[in-house]
Structures are given as C-alpha cells and as structure tokens.
Amino acid sequence: MPAGRLGGRTAVVTGAASGLGRAIAMRFAREGATVIVSDLQPEPIGTRADELPTVDVIDRAGGSAVFVRADVRQPEQVDALVTRATAITGRLDIVVNNAGLFGLSPLLETTEEKWDADLALNLRSQFLMCKRAIAQMITQDAVDEVRGRIVNISSQLGMTAAPGATTYGVAKAGVAQLTRQLAVDFAADGIIVNAIAPGRIITGTQAAEREYLATGATDEATRFSLSRTPFPRLGRPEDVAGAALFLASDDCTFISGHNLMVDGGWLAY
C-alpha cells in the first residue's frame, strides 16, 4: 500500500479550490490519498493572484489530485462527481463535504428566496453529497470494518448563535444533525459519518483577513474573535485539515456521529 495515513484511498473534497477545503485536500494528498479536488472553479478565490490552483500545488509536491468541476447544489453534478471519483479505483473511500459560504441574514431582512438559497448551499448540498456517496459506499467491500468515511463541515455557528446569522446557523445545525442521523442509519453498513465544527479560522479569502495575515492589523470582528477565543490565536486551515485527516483515517474507529469542535476552546468557554 502507498505510504501515508491515507495511502491507496480515494477522497473527494468539495470547495477545495480555496480556504479550508484547499488545506484539507493538500493534507490528504501528502498522506497518500488520490484527491478529487472539486469546486466551481480551480483557482483559489480572493487570494494572491500568483497562488496556484490546489491540484497544481499537489502535483508539484508529488501528490495525486484531479480537479472536477461541480456545483454541489445541483444533483446531476453531484452524481457526475461521485461517478468520476469512483471510476479511478472502483471505490470511493472518503468524502469531505466542505463547500459552503458564511453570510449574515437577520430574520426580518431574510426573504424566502434567500432562505432557500442559503440552505441549498449550506445544508441541502451535504444531503445530496451524502446520499450519492453512501449509495456508492454501501456497495463496496469493507476494509477493516469500514466501507467509507464521510466528514461534513458544520460550524461553531451551528452550535451557538451569532447575531444575525439565521440561515447559516440553522443550516450548520442541520449539518450536525444530518451527521448524527446518517451515522446511526449506516453504522451497520460500515459507513463512518462525522462532522467538524470550525471556530474562527483565518483563511485569507477575505480582504480583512489578508491584511491581518500580512501586517497583524485587526478589524473589529477579528478583535472580538481574538478576545473570545481561549487559545491565544485564531484558527489556521491546517488545524481543520488535521482534524479531517484523523476522521478520514484508520485511527478513527468506533467513532461516528460526532461533531468535533476545532475552535480553540470557544464553545468550552
């Protein structure tokens, strides 16, 4: 078997052009997985213009990755993504449902259209991916009791409410419950389903975060997050990637339905 904690495994990571998905894809590739980097576009959004697409970074480091364009809100594109990933080795070992977008939606300003659109991106997409991926995984032979592993990215804001984050918070709470439900329903089939709830992770996607990374200058939101987080720093994408690696690896045994906080102790405070 190829070296690394994910040697020989095929992993799909959605929203993997940028941010947390990009870090997870890179970490999985370093651990020997063949990574299907899926996103709306291959180029990272909002980052430095000279930053390479995720697949190119993995390729240059000697890893194995392929980009597959898919909008996770569209069932036929989700279907094509899982079909393409499965064609590589005949099985799909790992799915990380990461694509999503934070935005504010105070109740009285939230139209029905916005509610539907936000939940389509942040919750329905994970239902679609889980349904299609698990339909494939239950047909596969078990390896050390496991037919497949799913890691859903929820959020600290699905566990606790932030002012005005109505649709996002409800969607991410739904992701945590979807995770528990599928863990129960498919435990006997050898499907392990867990979630990660990141706290405030500085990805550099937003302009204020790029400024903070470059100069240490903080805006009001960053100052609040720093003051509220017990750890003396905010999160890094690699913090989430390490947690995802654990949940996707053979070290994660007899653990399913869990929603792992990666938040520097925010929720414990």
Known catalytic residues are: 168
- 202: Cβ–Cβ under 8 A, 6 or more apart, which residues? 209, 212, 213, 222, 234, 235, 236
Q: For ligand NAD, which stretch binds (CB under 6 A), given 3-11, 66-74, 108-116, 185-193? A: 66-74
203 near ligand NAD, judged by CB under 6 A: yes
90 residue type, one letter: G
Measured from the CB atom, the residue of 138 and 160 that comes closer to ligand NAD is 160
100 near ligand NAD, judged by CB under 6 A: yes
Q: Which of 36, 55, 72, 182 binds ligand NAD (CB under 6 A)?
A: 72
Residue 124 DSSP one-character state:
I
Query: Would you state the torsion angle of the CA atoms of residues 118, 77, 130, 261, taken in this order, to the nearest 10 degrees?
Result: -50
Quick one: tokens of 63?
A: 């890893």
User: CA-to-CA distance for 146 and 171, rounded, in angstroms?
Assistant: 28
Please, which of residues 158-197 interact with ligand NAD by CB under 6 A?
A: none
Number of residues that bind ligand NAD (CB under 6 A): 27
Q: For ligand NAD, which stretch binds (CB under 6 A), given 1-9, 96-104, 182-190, 253-261? A: 96-104
Task: Build a one-symbol-per-residue string for 106-145: x at contacts with ligand NAD by CB under 6 A, - elsewhere.
Answer: ---------------x------------------------
CA distances 250 to 4, 45, 77, 189, 245, Å, are 11, 32, 29, 16, 10
Quote the least distance from Cβ 55 to ligand NAD, whole Å. 13
User: CA-to-CA distance for 37 and 22, rounded, in angstroms?
Assistant: 8
